[in-house]
Amino acid sequence: MGARPVRGGTVVVVPGEPEAVLAALLDPATLRRAVPAAETVERTGEGRYRAVLAIGVGPLRARQAVELVIGAGGEAGPGRLALIASGRSGGSFAWGEARGDAVLEPLGDGRTRITWRYEGVVGGAAALLGDAALGLAARGFAARFFGNVQRTLVVRVPD
């Protein structure tokens, strides 16, 4: 089945200085809470993670194993994250590959602006849904992820 391109981006503001936000985004426990439909997230090496997601688009549902490579700083540059993700479900439901880039900018008030851009391809039965449905699903996934990041990083002050 043919592959369909997906691309997009978003800008969010999260609590915390960029260094703390970056450390949280590299923590498997934070990723587990933030990635929509994540059943598990485990670190498999330096900057490498494996996640299992229970995903679905429209009436199609499957468990998807996803390999993530997240680079911070270094080649990505200061205040940046580079992400490469690839995944495949059992059978012919879906496969996908994506590359993303996030820029973390301090706002000077204890918050960080994250500017996120990504592009990739999706294939398998999920690609039959068409560009509009895939774009909507990708934007929804990113919106839920960053909403979860915002909630996860909120520091609660005891009463």
Give the mean model confidence (pLDDT) for residues 96-104.
Answer: 88
Is pTM beyond 0.85 here?
A: no
Structure tokens at 109: 């008030």
pLDDT for 152 equals 81
Highest CATH level, class, for 4-153? alpha beta
Bin 48: left if φ > 0, else alpha if -120 < ψ < 50, else beta.
Answer: beta
Give which of 113, 147, 123, 153 is closest to 6, Cα–Cα. Answer: 123
Query: 147: which strand partners?
Result: none
**Residue-range domain boundaries for the chain:** 4-153
Give the mean model confidence (pLDDT) for residues 55-73.
Answer: 75
124: Cβ contacts below 8 Å, ≥ 6 apart: 1, 89, 92, 93, 94, 95
